Homo-oligomer: A and B are copies of this chain.
Amino acid sequence: MRASQLPLFTSKNDPNDAQVTSHRLLSRAGFIRKQGSGLYVYLPFGDMVHRKVEQIVREEMNRFGGVEVTLPVITPAELWQESGRWDLMGKEMMRMQDRHEVPYALGPTHEEAMTDLARSFLQSYKQLPVNLYQIGRKYRDEIRPRYGLIRCREFVMKDAYSFHTDDKSLDETYQKMRECYRAIFERCGLKTIPVEADSGNMGGSGSEEFMVASQIGEETLLLCSDEKCGYRSNQEKTAFFENPNTAAKGAVKANSEAAEDFDTGALKTIEEVSKLTGQNPRDFIKAVIYEDAQGIFVCFIQGDRELSEVKMKNLTGSTEYWLATEETIKTVTGAEPGYAGPVGLKHKDGDKIGKKTLRILFDKHLQGRTGLITGANKTNFHKKHVAEGRDFTISAGHDLIVAHAGDICPQCRKAELTETRGIEVGHIFKLGKKYTQAMNLTVLDPNGKPLVPTMGCYGIGIGRTVATAVEQNHDERGIIWNKALSPFTVYLVSLAKGDTETAFVDKLYKTLTGAGISVYLDDRDERAGVKFNDAELVGFPFIVTVGKKTMESGKLEVKLRRSGEKLELDEAELIGRLKAD
């Protein structure tokens, strides 16, 4: 292609709202342009890269047994109602009504639609396993769309959904998809970190995210510092194991003093009361109270740590929850907010408070602890010398704490965890029977009896893959594409003046394209500097310069975009080099 046919859309200015490199470079290099909040136009080069990623995903999915289909983007609400998610998905799901006021979702994901498709043709266990996928548009009404293609509201995903007679078959496909994803990201030139992940409101038992390490990542990853162990997990999901060194520091000597209320006045926070008493926050009991439409959740953890909302949510099954109101806190504790504790609570776990059911959840690290300070459920008072097993009892201890760097690895139970930030580009789930059961999908088993298949699902964000490829591959002059994703292999800078030189460049262009090499010929009427800058900015792997000098010497100036290495090659050498790389 020539610039005179396929124009460049490069720009000298960064977009106003560009906070991250990929957003800035993809915009300046003319690959994308914003058309609304979280809505992006793919310009020609961007469109080409996006389609190349799609094609890599398609080829690898097919190689690993995927069957491609395309579902409608708008999904009838009745399918979401069958699974129960119509009410659960919240504002992130974009919704609309047709002219007859029939409601639809702009699918943020397609479990329901794909299960509906599967039940229309699955009859026998002989048809399983099957792994149906599509590459299509998705919509998520992000509260704060940002980072260009990394967090936008309309984007293309590959989403696959597999159906199985049993967990063994599901696991086989799940492992295949892990392999498939590794192959995809490798071809895209992306280094990814697979981590254990929370399944969120997708249901199911196991899930793994493919993360691109990045300072701008919105996810925190915890990695075992012992590479032999190799544990890697999303912070959301990481089980908390306290570091014995930390634990030792906070330990209170066992004592037999009776629990006793003491006046702390207006001091409410653990920090304040710790200062007052000189007792380490670790030996406090922190209370955090949430509620949702059905329940009130009182959570107790040790005072130096944060409650994990994700863990609370997974234990309670709550999806739309909020911090308890002052009124609720007063009803539960009998005191103003700030004085909740496990001793002398008026209500027990399972009690009805109004229409809501009370749940009292303890973190297991509080088991067997003594000498603790906690709220006294009495305004202005805390309680000290509190001992578990005497003053209150934990019948079931849970994992409720957010793990972080410095904690012990939940896998090897020896080494400490380290922390890094990441962007999710892929996610694989074992969904189980959540959707097949709710939507009544059955097949006949070998004995002719109905069997509910178990499901997996597997997503890759196409646009996000493009963006993270740029995050990982760029320098101060622009993007650096690998050959597999680059719109063209060669950026041919023409310095030709006059007909003879132009004819020479044209001939070279035709020779290269005739040899099956994809070439972008910058034949614009621009200064050499402008062309060189644009060539570096758009980032094709080879920059070849031709002009009068080339005609005379017979040597082409070749610059490798990634290394910056400069070569002088004749035509045949260049073609050989381009085909080899």
A450 within 8 A of B: no
Contacts of A137 in B (CB 8 A): 73, 137
A247 within 8 A of B: no
Decide if B65 touches A5 in the complex (CB within 8 Å): yes
Binds B, one of A31-39, A254-262, A272-280, A369-377: A31-39
Binds B, one of A40-48, A298-306, A355-363: A40-48
Kindly identify which residue among B6, B46, B69, B94 contacts A98, using a CB–CB cutoff of 8 Å.
B94
Decide if A106 touches B117 in the complex (CB within 8 Å): no
Contact with B along A104-117 (1 / 0, CB 8 A): 10100000010011
**Which residues A68-82 have CB closer than 8 A to chain B?**
68-76
Decide if B69 touches A42 in the complex (CB within 8 Å): yes
A141 within 8 A of B: yes
Decide if B94 touches A33 in the complex (CB within 8 Å): no
Decide if B91 touches A70 in the complex (CB within 8 Å): no
Kindly identify which residue among B33, B65, B99, B153 contacts A91, using a CB–CB cutoff of 8 Å.
B99
Of chain B, the residue at the smallest CB distance from A142 is B99
Decide if B67 touches A7 in the complex (CB within 8 Å): yes
Contacts of A50 in B (CB 8 A): 70
The answer to whether residues A143 and B91 also contact, given A69-B47, A72-B39 and a CB cut-off of 8 A, is no
The listed residue with most B CB atoms (<10 A of its CB), out of A50, A69, A92, A113, is A69
Q: Provide the bound-state CA to CA distance between A50 and B134, in Å.
A: 13
A395 within 8 A of B: no
**Which residues A459-501 have CB closer than 8 A to chain B?**
none
Of chain B, the residue at the smallest CB distance from A120 is B33
Kindly identify which residue among B5, B72, B154 contacts A74, using a CB–CB cutoff of 8 Å.
B154
Taking the nearest CB of chain B, how far is it from the CB of A69, in angstroms?
A: 6
Decide if A68 touches B47 in the complex (CB within 8 Å): yes
A353 within 8 A of B: no
The answer to whether residues A67 and B6 also contact, given A36-B76, A73-B73 and a CB cut-off of 8 A, is yes
The answer to whether residues A71 and B7 also contact, given A99-B91, A137-B137 and a CB cut-off of 8 A, is no
Taking the nearest CB of chain B, how far is it from the CB of A225, in angstroms?
A: 41
Contacts of A94 in B (CB 8 A): 96, 98
Q: Provide the bound-state CA to CA distance between A91 and B98, in Å.
A: 8
Q: Provide the bound-state CA to CA distance between A186 and B72, in Å.
A: 28
Decide if B35 touches A71 in the complex (CB within 8 Å): yes
Kindly identify which residue among B7, B42, B127, B153 contacts A130, using a CB–CB cutoff of 8 Å.
B7
Q: Provide the bound-state CA to CA distance between A65 and B7, in Å.
A: 11
Decide if B35 touches A76 in the complex (CB within 8 Å): yes
Decide if B9 touches A72 in the complex (CB within 8 Å): no
Contact with B along A51-69 (1 / 0, CB 8 A): 0000000000000010111
Contacts of A113 in B (CB 8 A): 35
- Copy tally for this chain in the complex stands at 2
Contact with B along A238-266 (1 / 0, CB 8 A): 00000000000000000000000000000
Q: Provide the bound-state CA to CA distance between A96 and B74, in Å.
A: 12
A434 within 8 A of B: no
Of chain B, the residue at the smallest CB distance from A113 is B35
Decide if A41 touches B130 in the complex (CB within 8 Å): no
A540 within 8 A of B: no
A139 within 8 A of B: yes
A95 within 8 A of B: yes
Contacts of A9 in B (CB 8 A): 121
Taking the nearest CB of chain B, how far is it from the CB of A418, in angstroms?
A: 37
Taking the nearest CB of chain B, how far is it from the CB of A1, in angstroms?
A: 8
Q: Provide the bound-state CA to CA distance between A113 and B91, in Å.
A: 26
Contacts of A117 in B (CB 8 A): 33, 35, 41
Q: Provide the bound-state CA to CA distance between A120 and B30, in Å.
A: 11
Q: Provide the bound-state CA to CA distance between A356 and B577, in Å.
A: 75
Of chain B, the residue at the smallest CB distance from A50 is B70
Kindly identify which residue among B5, B39, B65, B106 contacts A96, using a CB–CB cutoff of 8 Å.
B106
Q: Provide the bound-state CA to CA distance between A72 and B155, in Å.
A: 9
Q: Provide the bound-state CA to CA distance between A44 and B96, in Å.
A: 28
Q: Provide the bound-state CA to CA distance between A91 and B46, in Å.
A: 34
Decide if B141 touches A72 in the complex (CB within 8 Å): no
Q: Provide the bound-state CA to CA distance between A251 and B87, in Å.
A: 70
Q: Provide the bound-state CA to CA distance between A153 and B256, in Å.
A: 74
Contacts of A74 in B (CB 8 A): 36, 39, 106, 139, 153-154
Taking the nearest CB of chain B, how far is it from the CB of A114, in angstroms?
A: 9
Contacts of A75 in B (CB 8 A): 35-36
Q: Provide the bound-state CA to CA distance between A99 and B95, in Å.
A: 10
Taking the nearest CB of chain B, how far is it from the CB of A389, in angstroms?
A: 47
Taking the nearest CB of chain B, how far is it from the CB of A39, in angstroms?
A: 4
The listed residue with most B CB atoms (<10 A of its CB), out of A7, A36, A106, is A36
Taking the nearest CB of chain B, how far is it from the CB of A32, in angstroms?
A: 10
A6-B67, A47-B68 known; 12 other A-B pairs, CB under 8 Å? A33-B117, A33-B120, A35-B71, A35-B113, A36-B74, A41-B71, A44-B69, A47-B70, A74-B106, A74-B154, A94-B96, A94-B98
| 11 A-B pairs whose Cβ atoms sit less than 8 Å apart in the complex | A35-B72, A35-B116, A36-B74, A37-B102, A41-B70, A42-B70, A43-B69, A46-B70, A74-B154, A98-B141, A137-B137
